[in-house]
């Protein structure tokens, strides 16, 4: 009987179907822990310093809202440094590793998110022009509750009594201070940074158009000359604002990639009253009893979340040991 060779599966094809391509190199546990700690520090540093620098800009004579929005993402080229380090690390592990992981579809999606981010940056800068840092944090405080809800429905974030308690405490505490599943490719930290690079580029481009229309570039030298802290400090405020805001975004996407979205939201919420305390120290804003209570509630919420994560990790380790013992006895 003659076999139709055209429909006969090739041996190579069968092997490829049985053995899919190897996944990208994974970070070892110590390196991932170091990366997680670094991103948490970057997130906290940027979250605490970025709003203060923008408020300093407005308090001492700055009047350009589009410029302030532009500063929030203008530091996106700084991402090229960690991306380069990641590229060399991946090439050392796999000489055939791709230079760029992001796909055209993700570029389009990131570009759209970047435009939305640019609009959001402008609205934030516009509000910070008129509101104290402590008051603007009231609105930001609600984001943790939204983050938790979307994390549950979109990425099936698992909640424990400790994490629910943390979300409740942090949302109430921060507000009181003012008075992807099913992905077609592995989501790695490098891919997340590439997406953030695209988002930052398009958000900055959006703000750049606004600056051109508002003639902000022509007004920079004049505004610097009239700045209350002096011309040199004017440019230092702008430069460090761009750098620290980028630290915030890099830290946020890093925490989301290494841990989960909920932890990033919790860290942001925790530092809202911290920002208010710093505003009292450096910007001489009023500190009320409500702000002190907010700080206590936020620290309590963070402790609750940390203890819950510790309990869950301990139980997971005990289950793994128990399963290993049962397997060995059988």
Q: Using one digit for the tens of pLDDT, what is the confidence trace for 143-159?
A: 555 455 545 554 455 55
pLDDT value of residue 1:
41
CB atoms within 10 A of CB 86: 18
In the numeric block, which tokens belong to residue 309?
């994560």
User: CB neighbours of 312 closer than 8 A, spacing ≥ 6?
Assistant: 160
pLDDT value of residue 203:
94
pLDDT value of residue 241:
93
pTM: 0.69
In the numeric block, which tokens belong to residue 185?
């490719």
- What does DSSP assign to residue 79? G
- Angular region, 185: left φ>0, alpha ψ -120 to 50, beta rest: beta
Q: Which of 272, 249, 265, 250 is nearest to 118 (CA)?
A: 249
- Contact criterion met (CB below 8 Å) for 120 and 139: no
- Give the H or E element holding residue 267: helix 261-283
Q: 35-49 burial, b for 16+ CB within 10 Å, e for fewer?
A: bbebbbebbbebbbb
How far apart are the C-alpha atoms of 74 and 68, rounded to whole Å? 10
Domain regions of the chain by residue span? 32-318
In the numeric block, which tokens belong to residue 177?
């201070």
pLDDT value of residue 50:
86
How far apart are the C-alpha atoms of 48 and 17, rounded to whole Å? 50
> Residue ranges of the chain with pLDDT lower than 70?
1-28, 131-187, 261-262, 287-288, 290-310, 329-330
How far apart are the C-alpha atoms of 309 and 112, rounded to whole Å? 34
In the numeric block, which tokens belong to residue 197?
């690079």
How far apart are the C-alpha atoms of 57 and 284, rounded to whole Å? 15
- Contact criterion met (CB below 8 Å) for 272 and 134: no
């Amino acid at each position: 009987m003659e076999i139709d060779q055209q429909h006969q599966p090739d041996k190579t094809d069968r092997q490829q179907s049985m053995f899919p391509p190897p996944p990208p190199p994974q970070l070892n546990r110590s390196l991932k822990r170091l990366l997680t700690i670094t991103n948490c520090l970057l997130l906290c540093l940027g979250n605490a310093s970025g709003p203060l620098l923008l408020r300093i800009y407005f308090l001492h004579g700055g009047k350009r809202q589009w410029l302030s929005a532009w500063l929030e993402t203008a530091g996106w080229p700084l991402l090229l440094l960690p991306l380069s380090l990641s590229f060399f690390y991946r090439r050392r592990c796999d000489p055939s590793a791709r230079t760029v992981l992001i796909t055209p579809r993700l570029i389009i999606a990131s570009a759209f998110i970047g435009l939305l981010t640019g609009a959001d940056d402008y609205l934030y800068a516009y509000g910070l022009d008129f509101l104290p840092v402590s008051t603007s944090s009231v609105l930001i405080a609600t984001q943790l509750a939204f983050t938790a809800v979307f994390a549950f429905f979109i990425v099936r974030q698992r909640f424990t009594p400790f994490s629910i308690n943390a979300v409740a405490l942090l949302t109430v505490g921060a507000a009181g201070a003012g008075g992807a599943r099913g992905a077609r490719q592995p989501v790695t930290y490098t891919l997340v940074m590439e997406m953030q690079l695209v988002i930052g580029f398009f958000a900055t481009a959006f703000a750049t158009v606004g600056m051109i229309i508002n003639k902000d570039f022509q007004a920079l030298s004049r505004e610097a000359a009239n700045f209350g802290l002096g011309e040199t400090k004017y440019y230092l405020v702008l430069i460090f604002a761009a750098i620290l805001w980028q630290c915030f975004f890099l830290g946020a996407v890093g925490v989301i990639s290494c841990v989960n979205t909920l932890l990033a939201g919790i860290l942001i919420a925790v530092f809202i009253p911290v920002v208010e305390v710093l505003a009292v120290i450096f910007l001489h804003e009023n500190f009320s009893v409500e702000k002190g209570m907010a700080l206590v509630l936020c620290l309590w919420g963070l402790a609750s979340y940390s203890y819950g994560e510790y309990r869950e990790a301990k139980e997971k380790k005990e289950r793994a040991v128990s399963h290993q013992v049962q397997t060995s006895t059988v």
